[in-house]
Amino acid sequence: MTNTADAIIIGGGIHGASLAFHLGERGMKSIVLEKNTLASGATGRSSGVVRMHYDLEPESRLAWASFPYFRNWEERIGGRCDFTRAGFIHIAKRSYEEQLRKNIAMHQRIGIPSLLITADDAKRLAPNIEVDDFDIAGYEPESGYADPSASAASLMDAAKRLGARLIQGVSVTGIQLVSGKVRGVRTSAGDFSAPIVVNAAGAWAQSVAKMAGVALPIDTWRHDVAFVHPPAGIAQYSPVVFDSPNSMYIRPETGGLILIGLEDDNPLGESPDGYTDRAQPGFVERAVDRICTRIPKMEAASLHSDQGGYDGLSPDQRAILGQIGPEGFYAQCGFSGTGFKIAPAVGLCMSELIIDGKAKTVDITPFDPNRFERGELLEPEHAYEDVWH
């Protein structure tokens, strides 16, 4: 077994798998090093929502470029991603209605099937929700959700068919540098050599960057979810709903369940190796209160399970994509909780950057890792409030 490749990817989540696949399509052989098992980090804890609604245009473009993968996964990748077209409703606070209108106009200019609907329209689409606290909402009829673990597994399988290798249970202990250039990595399983090393380590990305002498400003944030059995009378396949007034999102889940995630009181700065088998104390009670506010019939629901997870959070809550520090060292991290839905296009764009020197599918220069040192944080033209509060 050779320990030499064209590229080494640190992190076996959806992003590491996507990059390995796209590099393989261009003839580059990669080695993906994962400290645990495939999709055991943020990917395996992702809620799997597939939508294009962002207030930052480059993110919407990445999501739109990724969407054809999810809709045509078997033909494009092979295997399965279990995409379900459920529709997506974005409920904004009344104080952000103007931003909502302008962002939907931006989406439509890109070509995204994004509509402005009334509260009555939203009630028809999701009959059980209360609509007295908003007048308009965004709606994406083609959006929905997919299975993140299945998506990562099929991407990795496709990458293997193109010559990639996945090595699990391996911890990276150092980045090998010669004259300011990457030469490989040191690991618990020995040394691996490659002129390209990509940091796709998610919540562990800061510690990986330090090994290359790079100060990457990534914190960790914890994200918990609950799964509930809805009572009789609640439709199993309602749209995905992002509920900004209640800092919550909900979506259908396999087995007739409903998934609930909250966008506030998510602890920051904890160890990414923290306990995630259950949600943090008090989370389930808060989640139940929120969903009953939006869907009063859920008072009769019952808890199925709950869990936690960690992801990397950047200072502007946007992805970090590109070369930084030593020649040959790249960052593909900092997704701040929204990485799953854009992973196919990010992998493609990063492969273009590595091989061609520039991404052409979507311009990813706004996500340049060096922007923080320059003090140039990304600011949407029509921004909503920060969600990690």
**Cβ atoms within 10 Å, residue 213:** 12
pLDDT at 235: 67
* CA–CA distance, 352 with 28 (Å, rounded to integer): 12
Instruction: Tell me: do 323 and 198 sit in the same domain.
Output: yes
Question: pLDDT tens for residues 157-181?
Answer: 999 999 999 999 999 999 999 999 9
Instruction: Tell me: do 263 and 166 sit in the same domain.
Output: no
Domain of 28: which CATH number? 3.50.50.60
Could you give the number of structural domains in the chain? 2
| Strand 115-118 to 7-10 pairing | unpaired
Instruction: Tell me: do 119 and 176 sit in the same domain.
Output: no
Instruction: Tell me: do 332 and 252 sit in the same domain.
Output: no
Burial 129-162 (b: 16+ CB within 10 A, else e): bebeebebbbbbebbbbbbbbbbbbbbbbbbbeb
CB neighbour class for 85 (10 Å; exposed up to 12, middle 13-18, buried from 19):
middle
| Strand 115-118 to 302-307 pairing | unpaired
Residue 102 lies in a domain: yes
Instruction: Tell me: do 35 and 168 sit in the same domain.
Output: yes
- Vertex 307 angle, CA 306 and 311, to 5°: 145
Residue 61 lies in a domain: no
pLDDT at 232: 86
Domain boundary at 309, 332, 355, which?
A: 309
Q: How remote is the C-alpha of 62 from its chain's centroid?
A: 11
pLDDT at 10: 98
Domain of 224: which CATH number? 3.30.9.10
Which residue numbers in the chain have pLDDT < 50?
A: 388-389
Beta bridge partners of 136: 118
pLDDT at 388: 45
CA distances from 23 to 7, 170, 296, 378 (A): 9, 22, 49, 28
Instruction: Tell me: do 367 and 224 sit in the same domain.
Output: no
Instruction: Tell me: do 204 and 330 sit in the same domain.
Output: yes
Q: The pTM is what?
A: 0.97
Instruction: Tell me: do 231 and 260 sit in the same domain.
Output: yes
pLDDT at 389: 34
Instruction: Tell me: do 18 and 36 sit in the same domain.
Output: yes
Instruction: Tell me: do 153 and 137 sit in the same domain.
Output: no
Residue 181 lies in a domain: yes
Domain boundary at 288, 309, 330, which?
A: 309
* CA–CA distance, 300 with 291 (Å, rounded to integer): 11
Please, are residues 330 and 350 in contact by the beta-carbon 8 Å criterion? yes
* CA–CA distance, 379 with 293 (Å, rounded to integer): 31
CA distances from 159 to 83, 216, 225, 278, 311 (A): 20, 28, 30, 32, 24
Please, are residues 240 and 145 in contact by the beta-carbon 8 Å criterion? yes
Q: Nearest CA to 124 among 228, 239, 236, 12?
A: 239
Instruction: Tell me: do 364 and 319 sit in the same domain.
Output: yes
Residue 379 lies in a domain: no
**Cβ atoms within 10 Å, residue 211:** 19
Instruction: Tell me: do 165 and 303 sit in the same domain.
Output: no
For residue 74, what are its two tokens?
């078997």
Please, are residues 202 and 247 in contact by the beta-carbon 8 Å criterion? no
Residue 110 lies in a domain: yes
Range of the domain at 90: 85-143+220-309
Residue 349 lies in a domain: yes
Residue 381 lies in a domain: no
pLDDT at 135: 97
Residue 274 lies in a domain: yes
